[in-house]
Amino acid sequence: MSDSLILPIQDVQINPTWCAVTSFPPTAESLQRVTESHEIRYIMQGHIEWQYGQHRHIVHPGDLWMATPHIAEQITWDETQTTRFAYIQYIIPPTSSALAWPCTLVHTGSQSVVPHLVQHIIAINRHRRGQWKQEADYALRTLLSLVLNDSESHVTDTNQIVPAAIERLFLAIRAQWKNGLCAFSSDVLAGFAGCSRSHLFRLFKNHFDCSPDQLLMAVRLEMARDLLSWNDWPIHQIATYCGFSCPYHFSRSFRTATTHAPSRFRKKTRAGETLSHSWIRKEYYYVLSNLIWNG
């Protein structure tokens, strides 16, 4: 694919009717159909054989593949285990140059941010809280931008294997956050990860270009933003749930990150105004997927 390819990503909208996770048993018959829309699929379990025209791909867990409308395809499911995959259909308005889109693409990257963006979109569509449609569209555009428009070197940068120390850390934090979010000291985070503080900071710098505290603060503020957009809790209760002991500290942190005070953010979102949350960097979707949307 050419690096100069220009795609109308800003016009893309998710089709919420066709956005879910589905499964096919080993005994399922092959699927033959003609695609009706633009679609992203992400394999979560099992292997499939995907054929269209003269092309044939073996798609593995962690692979993401795309199709455009009017493609005659055949999908043969794994005969040894259940095949589980996510699919997201999206809409390109007629005013956009659909001819610029590639016909098909297979992208492998089970450890990249890409599969976590897919899971994040599926979760947003499932929960449908607050401005979920705008959030899903934003995440979808981020995904498409990463897969289609980013340079090869940048994709490689986000395709690094996440170290076991970070996996252990997220597993421990998720257990601690079951009944509410909270902050952790550097020593506690290092203990969760099973490594020294300096080594943990180096890992986060290499993989997320920030410190553990900065990244976890972004996740807590994202949860607060989500709650403000649909939940009727008082702001001080949201602050407490998201791990802020002082409402003033919460308001100041929220305003710094989003440029809006919590009360103003809630008022605007309840009025239907679309507020950008582009302050959430795409690298953070790995964390959001593991700590907020997991399960």
Q: Where are the beta strands (DSSP E) in the chain?
A: 13-24, 31-34, 38-45, 48-52, 55-59, 63-67, 72-76, 83-91, 104-108
Q: How many domains does the chain have?
A: 2
Q: Is the pLDDT of residue 77 over 90?
A: yes
pTM above 0.85, yes or no: no
Beta bridge partners of 41: 65, 87
Distance CA 12, CA 256 (A): 29
Phi, psi at residue 97, to the nearest 5°?
-85, 85
State the greatest distance between any 2 C-alpha atoms of the chain, in Å, as a whole number.
62
Instruction: Out of 108, 140, 157, pick the residue that ends a domain.
Output: 157
Same structural domain, 124 and 188: no
Instruction: State the pLDDT at residue 276.
Output: 56
3-state secondary structure of 194: coil
Strands 13-24 and 72-76 come out as: unpaired
Query: Which domain CATH number covers 204?
Result: 1.10.10.60
Q: Where are the beta strands (DSSP E) in 80-164?
A: 83-91, 104-108
Same structural domain, 190 and 125: no
* Average of per-residue pLDDT across 47-62: 85
Query: Which domain CATH number covers 122?
Result: 2.60.120.280
Instruction: State the pLDDT at residue 238.
Output: 94
Angle at 228 between CA 225 and CA 232, to 5 degrees: 160
Same structural domain, 198 and 111: no
Same structural domain, 101 and 175: no
Percent of the chain that is helix, strand, coil (3-state, to 5): 45, 20, 35
Distance CA 294, CA 257 (A): 24
Beta bridge partners of 83: 24
Q: Is the pLDDT of residue 18 over 60?
A: yes
Determine, yes or no, domain membership for 139.
Answer: yes
Same structural domain, 144 and 189: no
The domain in which residue 259 lies consists of 164-291
| Per-residue model confidence as pLDDT tens digits over 241-290 | 999 999 999 999 999 888 899 999 998 877 777 665 544 565 565 566 56
Tokens representing 88 are 């997201």
Same structural domain, 118 and 61: yes
Instruction: State the pLDDT at residue 250.
Output: 96
Contacts of residue 175, defined as CB under 8 A and 6 or more positions apart, other chains included, come to: none
Closest-CA residue to 218 (of 282, 158, 159, 169): 282
Instruction: Out of 117, 140, 157, pick the residue that ends a domain.
Output: 157
57 contacts 49 by C-beta, under 8 angstroms: yes
Same structural domain, 83 and 106: yes
The torsion angle over the Cα atoms of residues 75, 80, 86 and 91, rounded to 10 degrees, is: 0
Beta bridge partners of 64: 42, 107
Tokens representing 237 are 């209760």
Same structural domain, 110 and 197: no
**Which amino acid would we find at residue 155?**
V
Closest-CA residue to 240 (of 187, 183, 176): 183
Same structural domain, 17 and 151: yes
Q: Is the pLDDT of residue 202 over 80?
A: yes
Same structural domain, 149 and 22: yes
Same structural domain, 174 and 132: no
Predicted confidence band of residue 193 (pLDDT cuts 50, 70, 90): very high
Tokens representing 159 are 């395709």
Determine, yes or no, domain membership for 2.
Answer: no
Same structural domain, 137 and 216: no
Instruction: Out of 157, 181, 199, pick the residue that ends a domain.
Output: 157
Phi, psi at residue 171, to the nearest 5°?
-60, -45
